[in-house]
Amino acid sequence: MIYLCRHGETFLEQQKRKQGHINSELTLLTPQGYEDSKIVASKIKDKNIEVIYTSPLLRTIQTTTIIMDNLPVKPKVVIEPELIEMLFGEWEGLRKEEIEVGWPGELEERERIGRWNYRVPSGESYRDVSERTAKWWDEKSRYLPQNSLLVSHNVVAMSLRKHVYDLRVEQALALSHTHKEVWELKY
């Protein structure tokens, strides 16, 4: 079984800011993020995780470290660039209100087109992330050890679950993506 989780809560998330590829002290885990990661570890402690595949961003590496520190046996860790979060481009680090001021009408356009297809200025769309992660899964999943954990991000987790379970876009967008959940990906 391949398991999937999100990183723990970060300071930028507390501020309701788009994180994307930002990799700074603002994207480190909050105290709640530490607790989130410990809860994930408690859910997989009996799963004999052999390898953890993680996004290269600090928040996922920090989550991976906390999970490892709370497992009975330390798994191998592999950095997987394709598991990186959606690139929010010019919107990274911004709150919704700041986006509305800097890009008048774009949030309405995003809703009109749909989040799935709307490409953020100088960034990605959900569709882009879905295609990237589906390609990664199709190329790698058959070679992953049976007891592996993927530590990633909100849009990546949604996209992987959409692909693995062959969900429609509407179903994928309705999925829950909390920091404390662990999902099973059957292949």
Q: What is the mean pLDDT of residues 115-131?
A: 97
Name the pLDDT band for 166 (thresholds 50, 70, 90): very high
Lowest-pLDDT range of 13-22, 42-51, 75-84, 174-183:
174-183
* CATH number listed for the domain at residues 2-87+124-185: 3.40.50.1240
pLDDT, mean over the chain: 96
pTM for this entry: 0.95
- Catalytic machinery residues: 7, 85
- Residue 187: pLDDT above 80? no
pLDDT of res. 177: 84
Contact 106, 91 (CB under 8 A): no
